[in-house]
Chains A and B, each alone.
Chain A
Amino acid sequence: GAGVSQSPSNKVTEKGKDVELRCDPISGHTALYWYRQRLGQGLEFLIYFQGNSAPDKSGLPSDRFSAERTGESVSTLTIQRTQQEDSAVYLCASSANEKLFFGSGTQLSVL
């Protein structure tokens, strides 16, 4: 597709369940980011993939969070044993040069 695609667009889960969020970057984009945005807040950096380099995981808030990326394509963000404070919009973005393009996000609600 022409843009960054994220799925699902909405996810409602129960506390303690695991969730998996998916991001399809723009074709050819070597860099991929995951951000979290709580209601009314700014973007919170989670993790950054650049080509085949080791990912920058410095923003992951706890060991319940993990992410993978296959080559320069799809990435999945996994949250284990979800907590209510995990409720937020999770945004994926990709870049091939100096410009970052965002997907429409996944709204995660943990009940």
Chain B
Amino acid sequence: QKEVEQNSGPLSVPEGAIASLNCTYSDRGSQSFFWYRQYSGKSPELIMFIYSNGDKEDGRFTAQLNKASQYVSLLIRDSQPSDSATYLCAVRGPDSWGKFQFGAGTQVVVTP
């Protein structure tokens, strides 16, 4: 079992719709959760992070965390063609020096 799991996609989303991405993790002691966006041929860039159960909103992005169920999700509202990218879920281990573990990523394609 991989430590961080994501659906590979591609997830096809009409422009203006909501894209919903999910991620599950195996280490129940994980404390920090991140979403990175990676455009084709580019490096990953941080778009959201969340530490506490519940929702965290930043512009069109909302991260949701449920530690009891060990999943974290990302919602992209009003999806734009520029949101077309691979979204990587990352989880950091329980201690202060916990290692970042990445999922394989979900490819999102926003169609005009």
Inter-chain contact B43/A33, CB cutoff 8 Å: no
Asked if A43 meets B49 with Cβ closer than 8 Å, knowing A98-B92, A100-B90, A100-B100, the reply is no
Residues of A within 8 A of B88 (CB): 42-43
Please report whether the interface of chain B is mostly helix, strand, loop or mixed according to DSSP. Answer: strand
Tell me the chain B residues, 10-54 only, with Cβ under 8 Å from chain A: 32, 34, 42-46, 49, 51
Asked if A102 meets B99 with Cβ closer than 8 Å, knowing A42-B88, A42-B104, A42-B105, the reply is no
Inter-chain contact B99/A56, CB cutoff 8 Å: yes
Residues of B within 8 A of A50 (CB): 97
Tell me the chain B residues, 85-112 only, with Cβ under 8 Å from chain A: 88, 90, 92, 97, 99-105
Inter-chain contact A45/B97, CB cutoff 8 Å: no
Please report whether the interface of chain A is mostly helix, strand, loop or mixed according to DSSP. Answer: strand
Shortest Cβ distance from residue B83 to the other chain A in the assembled complex, whole angstroms? 19
CA distance A32 to B104 in the complex (A): 20
Interface residues on chain A, size class = 20 to 34
Which 4 pairs of residues, A with B, have the shortest CB-CB distance? Answer: A42-B104, A102-B43, A43-B102, A50-B97
Q: A-contacting residues of B (Cβ < 8 Å)?
A: 32, 34, 42-46, 49, 51, 88, 90, 92, 97, 99-105
Q: B-contacting residues of A (Cβ < 8 Å)?
A: 31, 33, 35, 41-43, 45, 48, 50-51, 53, 56, 91, 93, 95, 98-105
Identify 13 residue pairs between A and B in the complex whose beta-carbon atoms are under 8 Å apart, listed by A's number: A41-B104, A42-B88, A42-B102, A48-B99, A50-B97, A56-B99, A91-B43, A99-B34, A99-B46, A100-B90, A100-B100, A104-B42, A104-B43
